[in-house]
């Protein structure tokens, strides 16, 4: 029993020292201000990635926050949203400009509380340890979401 208790104490001490020394704290996300009847959010597929992560995906979601049906966002349907990733020092490490595509004028009505999403994949380069943020490019406010590399 003493061996088990000693192992547990060693394990917990090791976990605490690894997280304290290797990864900075994760900043709080900033919610987007509503854009008309829609509120947008952007979320990475994980909050922590290893330095050699091959790819990161972001989900951009639009939610109808009104009490009436609302036209869905064309930025999620036609080429996807523009995104930018910034390091903690403010340096931009990636930008995605949506491709120029012919977009049919098919507008989907979102009912109150209904959401629609789009995925954006990024083949990330080898990133330095630290905190990163992702924001929308031109267009509506998507908020700001953070992730860590450590």
Q: What is the pLDDT of residues 18-75, one digit of tens each?
A: 344 578 889 999 989 998 999 999 999 999 999 999 899 999 999 999 999 999 888 8
Q: What is the pLDDT of residues 91-132, one digit of tens each?
A: 999 999 887 777 776 678 999 999 999 999 999 888 999 999
Contact status, residue 26 vs residue 149, Cβ threshold 8 Å: no
Q: What is the pLDDT of residue 124?
A: 84
pTM for the whole structure: 0.80
Structural domains of the chain, ranges and CATH numbers in brackets: 27-149 (2.60.40.2970)
**Burial of 142 per CB tally in 10 Å (0-12, 13-18, 19+):** buried
Counts of helices then strands in the chain (DSSP H, E): 1, 10
**Structure-block tokens of residue 55:** 């790819």
Residue with tokens 């003493």: 2
């Amino acid at each position: 029993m003493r061996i088990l208790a000693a192992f547990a104490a060693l394990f917990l001490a090791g976990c605490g020292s690894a997280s304290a020394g290797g990864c900075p704290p994760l900043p709080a996300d900033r919610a987007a201000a509503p854009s008309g009847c829609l509120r947008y959010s952007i979320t990475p597929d994980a909050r922590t990635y290893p330095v050699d992560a091959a790819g990161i995906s972001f989900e951009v979601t639009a939610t109808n926050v009104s009490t009436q049906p609302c036209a869905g966002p064309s930025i999620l349907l036609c080429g996807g949203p523009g995104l930018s990733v910034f390091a903690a020092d403010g340096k931009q490490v990636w930008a995605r400009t949506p491709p120029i595509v012919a977009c049919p004028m098919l507008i989907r009505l979102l009912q109150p509380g209904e959401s629609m999403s789009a995925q954006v994949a990024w083949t990330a380069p080898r990133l330095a340890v630290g905190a990163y943020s992702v924001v929308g490019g031109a267009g509506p406010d998507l908020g700001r979401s953070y992730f860590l590399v450590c």
